[in-house]
Structure 1
Amino acid sequence: MSFSWLMMERVVHLGAGLVVGLWVARHLGPEQQGLLSYVLAYSVLATPLLTLGINAIVAREIVRHPEDEGRILGAAVGLRMVGALLSAVLCWGIALWLNPGNTTLAFYVALVNAAWAIGALRVVQFWFQAHYIPRNMTIAMMVVSLSFAMLRIGLILLNAPLGAFVYAAAGEIAVFGIAGLAAYLHTASAIRWRWHMPTARGLLRNSWMLAVSELPAVVYLKIDILMLAHTRTASEVGHYAAAARLSEAWYVLPIVFASAILPRLISLRDQDHGRYNQRLQEAYDLLACGAMLVAMTTTVLADDIISFLLGPAYAPSALILIIHIWAGVFMSMRALLAQWLIAEDLYVFSIVTQSCGALINIALNLILIPSLGGTGAAMATVVSYAVASFGALFLSRRTRPAGDMMVRALFWPLRIASVLRTLRRSL
């Protein structure tokens, strides 16, 4: 039941965000959409500072020390508020340095990051997870997602300018935090949080490595937007951002699939290692098959998809989409690899492989973006995903078995029977 509520919230949030986000892109046009994407990219790149890696350990600490949950939540919220304010100042300075004289753009960047000071209240979601009672929290989050989707639709109908959508983005972040607090009060009846310095130090001691490990992942996500913005035009950023959003829209599916089969895999690993490896191979086959079918379909229909969803102004996005969609083949297998690394207690390799991919991504963007623009950024994304999720696995004997499975998965038509068998078993 807990999983169902969490999945429902994710589907509503991502679904509403995708549909309305595409409508917003069509309304703003490539240049203004490029500026909006640029502003929002800063808060993604600042994620390690915004969260301080605390998200991953709050629920665990509450489960281990339920008597201290007031101190844990108080320290977590306080630390994240400080992180948000530091992020706002830092990103404002960077944006002003990179865009001399453009104080409005720097203000927008600072505003979105500062909103996380209130959005930090959303850390209560981990209290709900620790107590296995996500219902009130997920309902609150879904209400906020749908409300701000309606607000954005209203702004489109009113022909609102770029600034209105920046304020909407900042407002949504803040209201998510307020809604989380309201759900907590409805469930827990009273706030018993308090700042406790030793608890805060303990959280940071346990989370700083997680914060560092988040950096390569966020580089993947948004560094291309910033590099495009400072070497090409805002319109090209808009074309690329729109194509990337469409390309990444289905990424939640392999993540959900991999998370769902993890308990079964761990159980099999302890009972029958041969069957464990067989099930892993079948899962990789299924993920590669699904991703390739999505990529091939999108490659054929890219022009029609862009024209229908975004209009003729985004015609250059079609070629970017055709290239970028193939990153999904490696990303989908990466979703299972992440679970395998956890099961095998090889988490450090996740940081290593992500770092390799991030460095290659930056290097290729520096080479390709000046001459090829968004098309070059898409190429860099595909290659860096392939390196981080596939190629880097062959650098160590301990991760090579996963790399071998991925090689076989890429030739899934030769094992179509196992693909169908896995699909039937997972339904």
Structure 2
Amino acid sequence: MKLPVIKGFDEDAFNKYLKNAGWLMFGKALSLIVNLLIARYLGPILFGDLSFGLSLVAILAAVGALGLDTFIIREIIQEPAKRDEILGTSLWLRLAANALLIPIAVGVYLISHQLTPNPGEPLTLLVGLLALASFFKSFNVIDAYFQSQVQSKYVVQVQNIGLIITSVVKIVIITLNLPLIYIVFAYVLDGFILAAGLIIIYQKRGLNIFNWHFNKERARFLLKKSSPLILSAVMVTIYMKIDIVMLKSIGSKAVGIYSAAQNLSEAWYFIPIAIVTSVFPALLNARKTDLDRYQKRLGNLYDLLIYISLPVALFISFFASDIIHIIYRGKYDGAGPMLSIHIWSGIFVFLGTASSQFLVAEGYTKISFYRTAAGALINIGLNFWLIPKYAGVGASIATLIACFVSTFYLLLIRKTRGQGIMMLKSLFLVTAFQKIFKR
């Protein structure tokens, strides 16, 4: 039976948005397998060093993104004739920001290394190279363009090609028993291939990156609008990654064991991102044409994410220790209790990812910042308290509480309380039972 057609939006269009989510599956699965192989190969100490470097750079790289992705999509949809100006301005802003972040990342590491009680081996080169890999993400503005055209499949194809190449490189490195630094170079190669691939696919679609140009007024406008999202992205990354950085004070082995659990817990976080990214243009269109339909689609989106995340959390929490032992072949057995706690954070990450798009669509960027700031501050405070007592288990508890607070912060604000209640209904399966009993 066909769904009723809305003016300017129909079933075929919505299916088109949803189909784009499927393109990420292969790439993410391959990435997970390779990361597990790397963890097995390196062992807890070296894997802890790599995880620490990736987390430190990720926190700083959140600044380099400048919070522009969603605004690039919105601006191109609203002003398609200004495409080259929007993309050119965004690219130059990101290139400048990410270039500055390379020496800043090294400087921050050197300071933290001096202040850490158990610093371990110097990781200066590792941090610098990972920051260089992050520099190439400046070209993700091209990804934002394809998202605005609901053509994410082209970007995912490029990502998968690059991922296959670098996965083969990493497997060769493991097979040849090469040092950790070679794996770090593979991350740099991954960033370079993705940037080059995005440029090539953009050109092959009949477009020309050399037509892009920088506009000062556009830059001021974009930075003004996105500044709350810059801070918000930093806060999101802090409360997702700060636990690893703070665990380094206990030692690289503690970081490695916790990271083994965290990687499995977060391996499926691409699912809400893929779904939400794919349906975001549909939500914007529905908001323009039918507000009731818009709210209904948001509610259905929350329900869908709960249906996916809740069963997985239940299953993994019961069998976490067995899963860790089987996957890592006994090298990370202490990670089981951490995984059984950390996996529940995914439920709130799923809901938070979806509600973030609601905040952007409604222009509530300050609220987006406030809620992520609350989560980040709570996570940092809890980590200071729990990590010295319980190490990785304490970090897992801190992350879970922080994710819950950040997601349901919307209940505290009058104009977003309706979304918070909608998410609560989905979480406690209220809407699911309502649908069942209506039949």
Q: 1:335-414, aligned counterparts within 5 Å?
A: 335-342=353-360, 345-390=363-408, 392-412=409-429
Q: Is the 8 A contact 2:228 2:366 kept in 1?
A: no
AA of the residue aligned to 1:248: E
- Relative to structure 1, is the Cα distance of residues 329 and 190 closer, same or farther in structure 2, using a 3 angstrom cutoff? closer
Instruction: Give the whole-Å Cα distance in 2 for the aligned partners of 1:55 and 1:277.
Output: 23
Which residue is 1:58 aligned to?
72
Comparing 39-48 and 363-372, the one that deviates more: 39-48
Q: Which letter does structure 1 place at the counterpart of 2:227?
A: W
* Counterpart code for 1:169: Y
1:184 aligns with 2:184: no
2: CA distance, partners of 1:42 / 1:61: 31
Of the candidates 33, 56, 62, which is equivalent to residue 19 of structure 1? 33
Q: Which residue of 2 aligns with 1:227?
A: 246
Residue 60 of structure 1: how far off its partner (Å)? 3.8
Report if the CA contact (8 A) 1:2-1:133 is conserved. Answer: no
Deviations 1:104-130 (A, max 9, x none): 512221222123434423422233344
Corresponding residue SS for 2:177: coil
Within 5 A, what are the aligned runs for 1:15-54?
15-54=29-68
Counterpart selection for 1:317 from 335, 343, 348: 335
- Whether the aligned pair in 1 keeps the contact of 2:92 and 2:214 (CA below 8 Å) is no
SS in 1 for 2:210: coil
Counterpart among 85, 103, 113 of residue 89 in structure 1: 103
What one-letter code is carried by the residue in structure 2 that aligns with 1:226?
V
Q: Distance in 2 between matches of 1:372 and 1:401?
A: 37
Measured after TM superposition, the shift of residue 322 of structure 1 is: 0.6
Q: Residue 71 of structure 1 contacts residue 195 of structure 1 at CA under 8 Å; is this kept in 2?
A: yes
Is 1:12–1:145's contact at 8 Å kept on the other side of the alignment? Answer: no
- Counting aligned pairs with the same residue, the percent is 30
What code does the residue aligned with 1:320 have? M
Give me the whole-angstrom Cα distance separating, in 1, the residues matched to 2:424 and 2:212: 52
- Alignment deviations for residues 175-203 of structure 1 (CA, whole Å, 9 cap, x no partner): 21111112223233644245535244444
TM-superposed deviation, 1:66:
4.7
Native 8 Å contact 1:285 1:419 kept in 2: no
Gaps of 5+ in 2: 1-14
User: Which deviates further from its counterpart, 369-378 or 174-183?
Assistant: 174-183
Task: Quote the RMSD (CA, aligned, Å).
Answer: 3.2
**Residue in structure 2 matching 1:294, options 292, 296, 312:** 312
SS in 2 for 1:313: coil
Question: Contact (CA 8 Å) 1:88, 1:113: kept in 2 or not?
Answer: yes
SS at match of 2:415: coil
Supply the distance in 1 between the matched residues of 2:104 and 2:67 (Cα, whole angstroms): 18
Cα distance in 2 between the residues matched to 1:324 and 1:176: 30
Q: Is the 8 A contact 2:85 2:215 kept in 1?
A: no
In the TM superposition, what is the alpha-carbon distance from 1:388 to its structure 2 partner? 1.1
Counterpart residue type for residue 217 of structure 1: V
Q: Kindly indicate whether residue 10 of structure 2 is the aligned counterpart of residue 10 of structure 1.
A: no
**In structure 2, what residue type is equivalent to 1:207?**
S
Contact 1:30 1:235 in 2 (8 A): yes
Alpha-carbon spacing, 1:77–1:301, altered in 2? closer, same or farther (3 Å): same
What TM-score comes out, normalization by structure 2 length? 0.84
Q: 1:421 to 1:86 in 2, by over 3 A?
A: farther
Kindly provide the amino acid, as one letter, of the partner of residue 35 in structure 1: D
1:155 aligns with 2:173: yes
Deviation per CA, 1:71-98, whole angstroms, max 9, x where unpaired?
Answer: 4433332222221111111110011111
Of 199, 210, 230, the residue aligned with 1:211 is: 230
Structure 1 residues not aligned, in runs of 5+: none
SS in 2 for 1:117: helix
